[in-house]
Every structure is written in structure tokens, then in C-alpha cells.
Amino acid sequence: MKQFDVVIAGGAMAGMTLALAINKLSDKPLAIAVVEPFKVDHKAHPGFDSRSIALSHGTVNILKSLQLWQEIAQVATPIKHIHVSDRSHAGMTEISTAEVGVDALGYVVELADVGNIYHHLVEQNDDIELLCPASVQAVDRQQGSVTVTLDSGETLQSKLLVAADGAISTCCQQIGLDLLEHDFEQVALIANITTQQAHQGRAFERFTDSGPVALLPMSEGRMSLVWCLKPQDAEHVMALDDDAFLNRLQDAFGWRLGALEKVGQRASYPLLLRYRKQNTSHRFAIVGNAAQTLHPIAGQGFNLGIRDVATLAEEIAQSTQDPGSYDALSRFKQRRESDREATIALTSTLVHVFSNDYLTMRIGRNLGLAAMDNLPLLKAPLLARTLGLVAR
């Protein structure tokens, strides 16, 4: 039986960031195992696939403090300007770097690029052992330790097990932690797009009656599309040829970037809010999508997950004698409670306010967007969440 201080189930963004963060913050190194089913160079890796994510200003600051940003910065595209609008209506608001006084409002990275960087860093770290391909089959907790059985039959023993193994977490199922779900009755369609006009670091979120359309700036002049549609519409749009697809997207998004010229490979997934109220248990903690999977509106999910990861790493680093102690996990749970609840509530409310065409909602949200653009007092809370400047 192999002995570790911490076993992390899941080696995608949340799990790998946590593994690297723990020993950046600890006075003495801890023995860490990362259990991951998919090899990073495998095209089917669900955590490091062709998707892009937006890292908020606050997330970048966290990654800088963990000495992880320098490598990621080389594959990151800065967001200089954010434009939020409502299709066919006057309401809009804008946020720029000049207004906020930062170099970038956030950065867009491709998950595959970050996956390669993280795996290289882990390979160089003698205190982190990557067990791949492997997955957790059984969890057995004792008073002072937790024993994990892998699908290979190998057993690992540690002081703490962290579930970073996705929304349908095997570890959480083994422990018996309830998963709450809400179906937004939307499908996210994702692809990379090229446009007639250069994006110049601009990001766009446009609200339509079926859900938001977001375009994020990427390297090589590309833009990352997240298009939220009703399920029946998504099925139809996915089946269109490229020209018909671009025409339909042009109608939804408008002409702020000129003609939409090319679309890459498309993918889609249903949009559900999944979360576990309880993010700790005996010798057990949850981070990333295993703790909460949010609607992509306003780009909050991953950035919330990184705040979870950073806080847990801090508590583990302060409790190196016993990283799975009741006190360490209690502090982690308490520190994360208000941010988790507020961010989940915010994203869910935004979806319901901005994903319909009811007259009262339409008037209300357009007045809200217009007021937000002109009243700093209203805009400040949105800015704080957008920039990820949230207390931990």
C-alpha cells in the first residue's frame, strides 16, 4: 500500500492546480498522488479538450501567487474590453481596462495548452506522483486516514482525499454526498470562429431569448464561441453545414465584428447547475466541478473553482502534520461558504433574467444594463465578480 499525505482524484484543471499549489505554499513538501483516468495527450481527455476558458483578473493573481502564471501567460490572450448587450434592444454595458486600471480584465486560455504545461510541471516535481491512467473505485475512511482502491487493484493510503473528478464524481458517490441539480433547459454549443474584423482583445456577451452568445478573444485572431440555445434549436443548428451555421450565428450575434468567416469543429453539452452543499466530510474535500458546475453565463464557474483550490491549498499548507484534520477542513468549508452561495445564486439569476423574451423581463434587463453603464454604484458589484476580486 502506497502512503501519501494527500490523494487527489482527478488531474484536470482543478486537481492539477491543487497539487502544484500545495507544495508551493507548504514549508515542508507533502507527498501527493494525482489519480487521473485520461492521458493528457489523448484527444478524448474531457478536462483538457479543445475548449477555452476565461481566467479572471483575480484568478490570474492567484496563479501568480502560486508561481504558475509565468508559463500559462505564454499561451494566454488578454481581454482588454468586455461588451455586454441585449439582442435587438438598446440596453448595453461596457467594461474596459482603462476604466478599471488593470493591464487585462482577464485572459483566455485553451485547456489543452494548460494541460501540457501542468503535466510538464508535475513531471519535474518529485513530491507529486501522477497515477495515469487510473481511477478511484472504492473509498474507505478510518479515523486517522483514508484508503483509496484504484481500478487496477492498487491501494493508496493518505491523510486526505480530495475529489476533483468532475460533476458526476465517483468519490462523492462513494462517500454518499448528495448532488443537487437544476436543468436550465439549454444546450451550450462551442466552437472556434474567425471574424472579418480583428478582435483586438474584445470579449462579447450578447443576450438572446434562448440564452447568451459569448465570443472570447483567442490567439491567431480566433474567437471562442459559447452559444446557449434551447435543446431543439441546438440540435437543428448542430446539423447545419458551416455556411448555414455562420448565417444563423450572424443573425444572433450581429455585425460588431463584421462577417463571421469560418467555424471550426463544433461540440455541444447540456447546461445544468450541479452542486453539492457539503464540500467537506471526514478526511474528504471537494473542489472544481465536483463541488459545483455552473452555467457559463458571465464565466464564473472555473474562477470560483480556483478560489476553492487556492483556499484548500492554504489550509493544507498550514496543517502539514495532518492535512486532513477536522480543523483544517472546517476552516476551508467556512471560508468558502459565502462566495460559493453568492456565485451560484448570481449565475442562476442571470440565466433566468437574460434567457427569455418576456416583455417585463426584457424592459427590466435593458433598464438594468443602461443604468449599470451610467451608475458606478450599480456597476461596482458586477465589476468585482467579473474581475474575480472576491474575498476568500
176/162 Cα distance (integer angstroms): 14
Query: What amino acid occupies position 235?
Result: E
CB atoms under 10 Å from CB of 43, counted, come to 10
Whole-number pLDDT of residue 43? 52
Which three cell numbers mark 41? 495527450
352/112 Cα distance (integer angstroms): 32
- Residue carrying the nine cell digits 453565463: 297
81/100 Cα distance (integer angstroms): 10
Query: What amino acid occupies position 97?
Result: T
Whether the model clears a pTM of 0.85, i.e. scores above it, the answer is yes
291/280 Cα distance (integer angstroms): 10
* Cross-strand partners of 136: 150
58/54 Cα distance (integer angstroms): 11
Which domains are seen in the chain, by residue range? 2-58+110-180+274-348 (3.50.50.60)
Whole-number pLDDT of residue 51? 82
Distance of CA 165 to the CA centre of its chain: 13
Whole-number pLDDT of residue 88? 55
Whole-number pLDDT of residue 89? 52
Which three cell numbers mark 55? 481566467
Decide if 15 contacts 111 (C-beta within 8 A): no
pLDDT block averages, 10 residues each, the chain of length 392: 97 96 94 92 52 92 96 97 73 80 93 92 96 96 98 97 96 96 94 96 88 92 94 96 97 94 93 95 98 88 96 96 97 97 86 58 49 50 70 82
Whole-number pLDDT of residue 372? 46
Decide if 162 contacts 175 (C-beta within 8 A): no
Q: For residue 155, which phi and psi values (nearest 5 degrees)?
A: -115, 145
Among 185, 157, 153, 100, smallest CA distance to 379 is for 100
